[in-house]
A and B are shown apart, each in its own frame.
Chain A
Amino acid sequence: MHGFDEALAAAWRLIVTGDTALVEIATLSLKVSLTAVVCAALIGLPLGAALALARFPGRNALVVTINALMGLPPVVAGLLVYLLLSRAGPLGPYGLLFTPTAMIIAQTVLVTPIIAALTRQVVADLWQEYREQLTSLGASRLRAVPTLLWDARFSLVTAVLAGLGRAMAEVGAILVVGGNIAGVTRTMTTAIALETSKGDLPLALGLGIVLLVIVLAINAAAHLLGTTARRAAG
C-alpha cells in the first residue's frame, strides 16, 4: 500500500496548504448543490404537502411516479436536461449547456422528487393527526399546507438533507450537462472521476476527503440545529 500512503500524504498537503484548484472545485460543488437543493426544496416542499392533502383524479399515479423518480439515474436526468438545453433543444437559445446553471437545473431535477416524496409522506401522517382539529378551527386544505409544513419542520429537515446528500454525491448528471471543464464546471465528484482515471490519485483522494468532511459537517450542523430547535419548540 505504498501508493496509497503517498497519495494520502499528498492529499493532506493539498488540503492544509489550501490548494487553489482544490478550493475552487470544492466551492463550485457547494454552490451548485446547495443552490439546487434550495430550488428543489422551494418546489418539493409545497408540492409534497399539496399531494398529501389534495384529492384529484390521477393523484395516485402522480404519487407513484414521484416516488419512482427518487430512483431516477443521474445520467438519465443529465441526458434529459442536456436535450432540453442543447442548441437544438427548447431552451437552447439561452446557451446554458456546460455552465454551472445547467448543473443546478440537472440537480434540481434529481433532488425535487426526493424532497417531494418524503414531504408527502411526512405531511400525510401529520394531516391524519391534525385533520379534525384544523377542520374544526376552520382551516381549508390550502390553508393547512403551510401549517403542516411548519409543524413538520424537524422531519422535513431530514428530507432536505436526503436531497442534499443526493446532490453532493452524484456525478452522472453534472458530468453530462456540465462537461467537467476545468475552472468552469469542474466539481468534486467529476474531478474525482477524472483524476482517478488519469491516475492523479492525490488530488482525487484529497477531493474525496474534502467531500466527505463537507457532507459530514453539513449533517452535523443540521442535526445540532434540529436538536436545539426541537428542544426550544417542544
Chain B
Amino acid sequence: MHARATILPLTLDRVTYAHGSTVLIDGISTVIGASSRTIILGPNGAGKSLLLRLCHGLIAPTAGAVRWAGADTLGRSDVARRQAMVFQRPVLLRRSALANITYALSLQGRLGRAERLARAHEALAGVGLAHVAQRPAHVLSGGEQQRLAIARAAALKPDVLFLDEPTASLDPGACRAIEDAIRAIDAAGTKIIMTTHDLGQARRLADEVLFLCHGRLLEHTPADEFFESPRTPQAAAFLRGDIVG
C-alpha cells in the first residue's frame, strides 16, 4: 500500500440521525481504520445505506459528529474530494462511458485534459470496459453500468470508496466482475467501506464487519471472528438466516 497521507481513520462520535421522532441511526461511535475492507451488514432497514451517506457527508447527522483525520489541515472540500461513492443504482450521465469519467475528473479541477483522458482510459481498462469507451453509458448492460460507476469512482483515486449494495440487482457473473474491481481498487490503496445483504459476498470481501440492527451498531469485529463466533444473538440469528426482529 502507498504510504501517503490519508483522511483515515474515520471517527464516528455518537452519530445519530432522526427523522421526526423516528431514530434511524442511534448513537453510533466507532473508528474505521485505513488498512482493511470494511463491510457493513445488517437486516433490511437497519440503516446501512443511511450510515454510508452520513459517513460520506451526503446527509448531516442530527446529533453527533463524523470526523476525518486531518480535516483541520485539509479543509472541508479537500476531505470531500478524497472520498467517492458508488450507489446501488448507478447514475450515469447521458454521454459516452469515457466522458462520464472525464466529467467526474474535471469536477475535481486538478488535471489537464490529456491527463483526464489518460486516467479515464486507464480506469475503464481496469474494469474491463476499454472496448465500450465511446459507447453511450445508457446503452450498457446493468453490470457494465455498475462497473463504469466503479471505474468513475476509482479514477478519482480517492482515499476511501463507499459502495452501497453495488451488486444488488446483478447476476452472478456481473457480481464477480464487480468484486474483482473492488479488490483491485483496494490493492491500489483505496479504503473500501461497503454495504451488502449478500453474506457470501461479505465473506469473500470483508476484513472487518460492522453489524447494524435497528440503527444501532451491535458489532465491529474482524471478519473471521464475526462469521465464526458472533458476539450478539442478533448477529448469530442474522448469520443463520433467521429474521432478525
Report which of A133, A150, A153, A233 forms a contact with B138, defined as CB distance below 8 A: A233
Question: Are the CB atoms of A139 and B107 closer together than 8 Å?
Answer: yes
- Are A136 and B84 also in contact (CB < 8 A) when A130-B91, A143-B107, A233-B95 are? yes
Interface digits, B56-67 against A, CB 8 Å rule (1 contact, 0 not)?
Answer: 101000000000
Report which of A134, A153, A233 forms a contact with B136, defined as CB distance below 8 A: A233
Question: Are the CB atoms of B80 and A232 closer together than 8 Å?
Answer: no
A143 to B83, CA, bound (A): 19
Question: Are the CB atoms of B94 and A232 closer together than 8 Å?
Answer: no
A129 to B87, CA, bound (A): 12
Chain A residues lying within 8 Å of B104, measured Cβ to Cβ, are: 137
A233 to B139, CA, bound (A): 8
Interface digits, A131-150 against B, CB 8 Å rule (1 contact, 0 not)?
Answer: 01111111100010001001
Chain B residues lying within 8 Å of A150, measured Cβ to Cβ, are: 94-95
Question: Nearest residue in B to A232 (C-beta to C-beta)?
Answer: B136
Task: Report the contact-size class of chain A (Cβ under 8 Å from the partner).
Answer: 10 to 19
Question: Are the CB atoms of A136 and B56 closer together than 8 Å?
Answer: yes
What's the tally of chain B residues with a CB closer than 8 Å to chain A? 24
A175 to B80, CA, bound (A): 56
A133 to B136, CA, bound (A): 18
Chain B residues lying within 8 Å of A153, measured Cβ to Cβ, are: 94
Question: Are the CB atoms of B91 and A233 closer together than 8 Å?
Answer: no
- Are A138 and B80 also in contact (CB < 8 A) when A232-B136, A233-B136, A233-B138 are? yes
Question: Nearest residue in A to B137 (C-beta to C-beta)?
Answer: A234
- Are A234 and B108 also in contact (CB < 8 A) when A133-B87, A147-B93 are? no
A2 to B91, CA, bound (A): 62
Does B194 sit at the interface, judged by CB under 8 A?
no
Chain B residues lying within 8 Å of A139, measured Cβ to Cβ, are: 107
Question: Nearest residue in A to B56 (C-beta to C-beta)?
Answer: A136
Does A200 sit at the interface, judged by CB under 8 A?
no
Interface digits, A217-234 against B, CB 8 Å rule (1 contact, 0 not)?
Answer: 000000000000000111
Question: Interface residues, chain B, CB within 8 Å of chain A?
Answer: 53, 56, 58, 77, 80-81, 83-85, 87, 91, 93-95, 103-104, 107-108, 135-139, 156
16 sampled A-B residue pairs with Cβ under 8 A:
A129-B91, A130-B91, A136-B84, A136-B85, A137-B103, A137-B107, A138-B77, A138-B81, A138-B107, A139-B107, A151-B94, A233-B94, A233-B138, A234-B136, A234-B137, A234-B138
